[in-house]
Amino acid sequence: MRLSMRIDVVSIFPQMFDAVRDFGMTRIALQNEKLRLELWDPRDFCQDKYRRVDDRPYGGGPGMVMMAPPLAGAIRSARSAGGGKVIYLSPKGPRLTQERVQILATEPALVLLAGRYEGVDQRLLEREVDEELSIGDYVLAGGELPAMVLIEALVRYLPGVLGNDDSVKTESFSAGLLDWPQYTRPEMFEDVEVPAPLLTGNHEEIRRWRLKQALGQTWLRRPDLLAQRELNDEERSLLESFRQQYEK
């Protein structure tokens, strides 16, 4: 498998994306050519000499609206250069989910449109945008951080990026559950020991302890997730035992 992805981003703040270029898993993915990231600044596609990308809303009211022509120029150039499906990061979109991330990760290319101000001229959205996505119900100042959130979530699914074939595999073992608690050296920290099962070297015992902890943490903190997930016989009995120990 030689899966790679091209992501074109349309933003008036291209330098914000230095954050994903320069750090962590996204930096490694770019280095290894698993990810290609291209920025398109709408200001480079303006007609006027002042490079204006926003104007006042027709009908009046507060704030400014992003103009269609510079955005259309940027999006169409991204598309000609090999860009894919256009996703507009928007507070009005459906919430981004892990399921959506997994599906989008199979696309060979995406164009991400990050807006600023009060929003984008509706005619541009109707002409050029294939899908809208929000990252949650809170108000940000623009779509750049949401676009970077999506990029980081997608990169985890590109094979061979940073030992991630393994972490995506562990994910399916505990899909729909919270993580189990993690421990590393030293074995004793301020009178608190590492849980005994983790020190046995018995892989089956460790697997069962971790699954039990994942089920227990999910039951305690996110019962909504448990309600959405079928439990098999082993999982039901591990959770039952976690609850009995918790009540004591």
Cβ closest to ligand 9D3, residue 64 vs residue 168: 64
DSSP 64-85: -EE-HHHHHHHHHHHHHTT--E
Count the neighbouring beta carbons within 10 Å of the beta carbon of residue 38.
18
In whole angstroms, the minimum distance from the beta carbon of 133 to ligand 9D3 comes to 7
Residue ranges binding ligand 9D3 (CB under 6 A): 89-91, 115, 118-119, 134-136, 138-143, 146
Do 4 and 37 contact (CB within 8 A), yes or no?
no
Cβ closest to ligand 9D3, residue 143 vs residue 216: 143
Cβ closest to ligand 9D3, residue 145 vs residue 194: 145
Separation CA 39–CA 45 (nearest Å)? 13
In whole angstroms, the minimum distance from the beta carbon of 237 to ligand 9D3 comes to 40
Cβ closest to ligand 9D3, residue 88 vs residue 209: 88
Do 83 and 111 contact (CB within 8 A), yes or no?
yes
In whole angstroms, the minimum distance from the beta carbon of 42 to ligand 9D3 comes to 14
| DSSP bridge partners of 65 | 55
Alpha-helix runs per DSSP H in 54-184: 68-80, 98-104, 122-128, 144-155, 164-173
Cβ closest to ligand 9D3, residue 90 vs residue 164: 90
In whole angstroms, the minimum distance from the beta carbon of 145 to ligand 9D3 comes to 8
In whole angstroms, the minimum distance from the beta carbon of 119 to ligand 9D3 comes to 5
